[in-house]
Amino acid sequence: MKREALLARLRSTPRWDVLVIGGGATGLGCAVDAAARGYTTLLLEAHDFAKGTSSRSTKLIHGGVRYLAQGRLGLVREALEERAILLANAPHLVHPQRFVVPVYRQWDRLMLGVGLTAYDWLAGSRSLGASRLLSAGDTVAALPTVKREGLLGGIAYMDARFDDARLAITLMHSVLDLGGLAINYLPVTALRHEGGRVAGVDAHDGESGEHFSIAARVVINAGGVWADALRQLDDRQAPAQLAPSQGAHLVLDRDFLPTDSALLIPHTPDGRVLFAIPWKGKVLLGTTDTPRTDLPLEPRPLAGEIDFILETAGRYLTRPPRRNDVRSAFAGLRPLIGSGPAGVKGGGTATLSREHLIQVSRQGLVSVAGGKWTTYRRMGEQIVDAAIPVGGLPKRPCSTRGLPLHGHPGTPCEDVFGLDRPRVDALPGARRRLHPALTLTEAEVRHAIRHEQARSVEDVLARRHRALFIDARSARDAAPAVAALLAEALGLDDKQTREQTEAFQHLAEGFLTPR
């Protein structure tokens, strides 16, 4: 997967049926769907795949327990259906996860029991196992470090967890497997109009600066939190639709919750639930819901968010976590449907829709706002359905419902590479770790560069491997070794290698929680 070969194919294609802007969950889902239908498909990403929101989620594929209380049964049912599809199509990346809710009030026991019974009912034949009431002893057995004072019992139910950035890389592979083209570091600078209609884009190679004028029968705007800016390239008067929200997460060592069960805290002051999830040998805490009026490429958890997560978790754990226990702290921006940042009422976004909105402009730009990872496939199906008449494309049915994604191993496994593992281990350095605290090997770095379009230390340590999100200090220390392998593979000189290392180490500092 050499970049020059990808760019050569871009140069040699006079016009694409479908051009997707944005390499996050939604854009990749659109590109897989379009390519699977046989349309010539191009996806352009300004930075790296899943650079933003799509690598910074709560790592759950779920129906959304809290949406039941809001009466959004359709959203829950659809998400539970998509959960089942993902478990079947990507069993190397999506796995069943048991959750336990500790109960300290009888009223909560009653209400949660009713709600989770409804959750089971909505899942129907796709249920991963019925929810059940637990005694206090069973709850402690499932959550050994949960606070016992006043504990009445608990409720256990099933959902699913996943590796978000690795799913994005798998979708990129799947686009290519299906004959499409997906390229990172190729930002769109303008929309091209012909006869008053969107007819393609102008873009440039973020590495060489080469300019591309690209023709397409239909253009899909899947820019996530930046979708409004792309809509305004099409129509300067287009009103903002998004009310971005920030979700922060903290990562702790496993001894804070030494179990394979996840903890759900059902009541928090901001109206959300808080999760403590076993993930890659650590515990992931989150998430918050904080309105943002700006759109930073590298959002940071706010001090108040860090304190909120630590204080809330500390009320439920026998050993309250402190700032110096945090291995990594990160935040992601959510593209919630609202009336723009200025339209958030009362400073809160917890009640805004997690559903998605598809619009076609007068000039034929197909834009999508909102959505979440769990329903990415369904979103892609609906967006391509909307794009077909806009581009005058031959109507073809969606085929992604039963489409095994790249690397599908046939049966569930915990290896994110799936069927690609033999190819990874055939590369030099399969047994050499880059850092004692990380599982990353030299062979996996080489595979990321050769086969997964990794172009920087950050691409490797943040999204091809999750080191930055698991243990920011160890990732920072591993940066020089990764930069040396990049230099070897991409022909970087000493100055470029040093710049790669320093840029990542500066980024990693932002994932370290201030003491």
The string of pLDDT tens digits covering residues 425-471 is 999 999 999 999 999 999 999 999 999 999 999 999 999 999 999 99
Specify which residues 279 forms β-bridges with.
Answer: 282
Report the largest interatomic distance among the alpha carbons of the chain, rounded to a whole angstrom.
71
CA gap 500, 497 in Å, rounded: 5
As given in the structure block, the two tokens for residue 328 are: 């990594």
* Architecture per CATH, 95-160+243-334: 2-Layer Sandwich (3.30)
> Of 366, 370, 361, which is closest to residue 386 (Cα–Cα)?
366
Report the amino acid identity of residue 243: A
Closest among 455, 382, 53 to 246, alpha carbons compared: 53
Among the listed ranges 55-64, 110-119, 156-165, which one has the minimum average pLDDT value? 110-119
Higher pLDDT among residues 183 and 355, named by residue: 183
The reported pLDDT for the residue numbered 343 is 38
Tokens of residue 501, six digits: 């290392």
Lowest mean pLDDT among 237-241, 344-348, 350-354, 399-403: 344-348
Other C-beta atoms within 10 Å of 318: how many? Answer: 13
Query: Sign of dihedral through CA atoms 459, 406, 277, 351?
Result: positive
pLDDT of residue 339: 52
Residue range 268-277: mean pLDDT, rounded: 85
Rounded Cα–Cα distance for residues 469 and 56 (Å): 9
Q: What's domain 3-53+166-240+350-391's superfamily in CATH?
A: FAD/NAD(P)-binding domain (3.50.50.60)
Across the range 16-22, mean pLDDT stands at: 98
Given a contact cutoff of 8 angstroms between Cβ atoms, the answer to whether 36 and 28 are in contact is no
Query: How is 176-207 classified by DSSP, letter by letter?
Result: HHTT-EEESS--EEEEEEETTEEEEEEEE-TT
Round to whole Å and give the CA distance between 23 and 379. 14
Q: Token digits for 411?
A: 């049966």
Q: Dihedrals φ, ψ of 121, to 5°? A: -65, -40
- Range from 56-60, 193-197, 345-349 carrying the lowest mean pLDDT: 345-349
The Cα–Cα gap between 87 and 417 comes to: 15
Average pLDDT of span 326-337: 94
User: What does pTM read for this prediction?
Assistant: 0.95
pLDDT tens profile 497-511: 999 999 999 999 999
pLDDT at 355: 77
418-509 CATH pick, 3.10.105.10, 1.10.8.870, 1.10.10.10, 3.40.47.10: 1.10.8.870
- Residue 171: Cβ within 10 Å count: 28
Residue 512 CA to residue 164 CA, distance in Å, equals: 21
Locate the domains of the chain by residue range.
3-53+166-240+350-391, 95-160+243-334, 418-509
Q: What is the pLDDT of residue 349?
A: 38
Which helix (H) or strand (E) element contains residue 20? strand 15-21
For the segment 142-149, the average pLDDT, to the nearest whole number, is 98
Q: Rounded to 5 degrees, what are φ and ψ at 58?
A: -85, 5
Q: How many CB atoms lie within 10 A of CB 394?
A: 10
Pairing, β 41-44 against β 15-21: parallel
Predicted local confidence at residue 341, as pLDDT? 43
Say what the pLDDT of residue 515 is: 54
Neighbours of 240 (CB within 10 A): 18
HSE-up (13 A, CA, CB side) for residue 341: 15
Cα 427 to chain centroid distance, Å, stands at: 28
pLDDT over 50 at 234, yes or no = yes
With CA atoms as reference, report the closest residue to 463 among 480, 482, 481, 485: 482
